[in-house]
A and B are shown apart, each in its own frame.
Chain A
């Protein structure tokens, strides 16, 4: 099949597409031979249209976009097909021509706002650089105007600041300003907000929408979240293993997914799944049928395994010579966690949610307040008692690439807690490791492998196995699924839910993503700037949020504005 099938009929729409990719193939030269990253990609973007490429990491979505702007890494090349920009084939265009096109015809907003601004130059200088390169007026007034248009308040003063003085959201706005400064016809946005808090993400995407609509810019949005793509784009292109497997108008694709991969995405993407639960509830369907089996057994005795009372953590901030001011990262936080249930702590970065987790894990000492675990105040734990406590409360960390020692193979990684706590003999420990691998649905043959050979989701499952090795009662998941692709996220969440059912575990789930909370949590604590602003059962908080902040978080779940029938699948 070719792109001809999805192109709008010329007779009804005489407008020519701004970008057309036909049968694109991209090959990378690696140490182990040639690898085809993109096998068959095609898409069409009409003027003013927003098209989203959706896919998991490694699906070739970013590679396709980089090829369109001629920025493939040195070991990659277009090995087939065409990239037509305004009718001109640029798939093998010389570098000189690409430099002409970049900025003025194609703009780009990169993924990571933290590393994509040069820290030694002022923001204004970096905007000016782009304007100058494209022969546009580059006085201070023009720079300020460009920044102001991207929604940066007080632009003239801000232009004189350095990137480190900007927050993540402001940096992304500056990058959007740079990307759009020369009013390109096409803007490529590669996961422009995945590194930002959900509420900031929403504001930035809203603003990007408004700007591109005003300027009539076409947008190629790259994302791994189908919910976000469907909400923001007119058309969605789904990529899987280097191929475009499905493409079409957003809503049509969501309502009527044909390819099994798209169906899988629609079924399990947390943003869509949580939206589905909400819609179903509004229509009076019992949520129990749709939720993962997390609802705790009523007959089980539910005592409070964790009681947090008036917890406070104050850090001293240094301010010049000898001066310091107090900063309360966690301020008067109290909540209880019932045995066998999942409690989620939700908040943006800087809300103090991770600090709470660290204090519960006894990795940080609270300034004031108590953490009572199983009726014992943990503040008094020392030596042997602390060692025993560690056995009962285990963490799972956010970054699956950092939480496993790269020098340890999988067997040693999972066995370590058993060895440290001197449990069993060598043979019984090996048996236990095998059981744990079964529990997290990984093959036992994996024992001799090293973390660098595994994908993010597999590493996270290893981390779960390690946490389970000591048969703990409480597991603290600090953003445990945030770094994973949506499908893998759903898989790990299901695994966690199954384990809770089978082993009666209690989870304290730290996350910024309410879509995930909807799927897994029984209770929610919403934190803002160190303070607990709202607590309640998940249903209560989602149905009747009392605080404006909670409402803002809820609104920020991508796909929130989509009206989905409850049984799309």
Chain B
């Protein structure tokens, strides 16, 4: 029979039949975060930036571990712009203060401005963005226009104006800088959150939760927002670096932190005068600033790659 000679059947033992839709039980459960962590852990960019950030945090919290020289009290004009000596590895500033000690003690102000501003921006931006994206309608329209107004302001110009307000002028310190930055930088975060929430808002699992009896706001908190978190985290990490630069810029312009607070921005500003004679005084705080910003931006990039949903598809 010709039909039989054409009928090919593979031996069954070559491809043993498995139960339909059988369950794989050999691997450990993987959540989104566990998966991202597994990917991050192997990336050199993440390892380097995480190490640097850990080091910077330690310096900021315990400057005493790294230097025993007081940054402000021991300044002697005799040492003005002095070359490095034993115990003072980076030399002296115009005022005769130890550069190394100032760089170490300046970390605290820069990092705390960055971290506090990011926290404020996340709180304001995510709240507004999530509400606007999830509920839409007039709320969305109003918040979008308010955001646009802030977008239209160049951030430095805006900061110059805000810091000259009487309240800010009289109470200059870490918090006034944080408030200034948060006030001007939240719309970016709101916009990203809004987009991410809109994307999730119409998913079946939100509808499913609603038909289970979860309230509309509950579904936002429990389902929509957690699924919109990835871009928020990435932007927050990147903005941390940007805000540290912004603080330094404001301090350099003389409207940021008061000179009584040690910060890299203030030091760079002060070193301006001696750039021709002793460039080192400028170089060291500037290098510290660059490394800090670079490590946060590198961290942001690594986190973005790890949380990329495209790489998670089955």
Contact = CB atoms under 8 A, between A and B. Distances in A.
A399 B5 CA distance: 43
A405 B227 contact: yes
B29 A409 contact: yes
Contacts of A421: 213
Most buried by B among A9, A397, A491: A397
A184 to B, nearest CB: 25
A458 B5 CA distance: 39
Contact of A1 (B8, B29, B203, B214): B8
A8 B214 contact: no
Contact of B20 (A253, A399, A420, A487): A487
A328 interface: no
Given A405-B205, A407-B227, A450 B23 contact: no
Contacts of A258: 7, 9
B21 A390 contact: no
Interface in B1-47: 3, 5-12, 14-15, 17-18, 20-21, 23-25, 27, 29-32
A261 B15 contact: yes
Contact of A390 (B5, B23, B29, B211): B211
Contacts of A395: 207-208, 211
A402 B204 CA distance: 5
A363 B209 CA distance: 11
Contacts of B24: 453
Given A261-B17, A399-B204, A403-B205, A244 B8 contact: yes
B7 A256 contact: yes
A399 B202 CA distance: 13
Given A243-B14, A407-B32, A409-B29, A488 B6 contact: no
Contacts of B17: 240, 260-261, 264
A248 B226 contact: no
Contacts of A6: 6-8
Given A259-B10, A445-B25, A248 B31 contact: no
B23 A442 contact: yes
Contacts of B314: 452
A259 to B, nearest CB: 5
Nearest to B229: A407
A240 B7 contact: no
A245 interface: yes
A121 interface: no
A71 interface: no
Interface in A378-409: 387, 390-391, 394-395, 397-399, 402-407, 409
Contacts of A446: 23, 25
A241 interface: yes
A449 interface: yes
Contacts of A261: 15, 17
Contacts of A450: 29-32
Contact of A391 (B7, B204, B213): B213
Contacts of A402: 203-205
A230 B9 CA distance: 17
Given A443-B25, A458-B23, A247 B8 contact: yes
Nearest to A445: B25
A455 B21 contact: yes
Given A409-B29, A452-B314, A488-B21, A246 B10 contact: yes
A249 B10 CA distance: 15
B21 A487 contact: yes
A249 B6 contact: yes
B223 interface: yes
A210 interface: no
B20 A264 contact: yes
A5 interface: yes
Nearest to A394: B211
Contact of A458 (B9, B21, B205): B21
Contacts of B169: none
B10 A245 contact: yes
B175 to A, nearest CB: 34
Contacts of A362: 211
B174 to A, nearest CB: 35
B210 A248 contact: no
Contacts of B207: 363, 395, 397, 403
Interface in A115-161: none
B78 interface: no
Contact of B3 (A252, A443, A452): A252
B310 interface: no
Contacts of B152: none
Most buried by B among A243, A245, A260: A245
29 contacts: A5-B8, A40-B10, A241-B15, A244-B8, A244-B10, A248-B8, A252-B6, A256-B7, A387-B213, A390-B211, A391-B213, A394-B212, A397-B207, A403-B208, A404-B205, A404-B208, A405-B223, A405-B226, A407-B32, A409-B31, A420-B213, A420-B214, A449-B29, A455-B21, A457-B20, A458-B23, A487-B20, A487-B21, A488-B20
Given A403-B208, A443-B23, A450-B29, 15 more contacts: A40-B10, A240-B15, A241-B18, A243-B15, A244-B8, A246-B9, A247-B8, A248-B6, A258-B9, A264-B17, A395-B211, A397-B204, A416-B209, A420-B213, A453-B24
Name the 9 nearest CB pairs between A and B, nearest first.
A248-B7, A403-B204, A402-B204, A390-B213, A258-B9, A457-B21, A247-B8, A405-B205, A448-B29
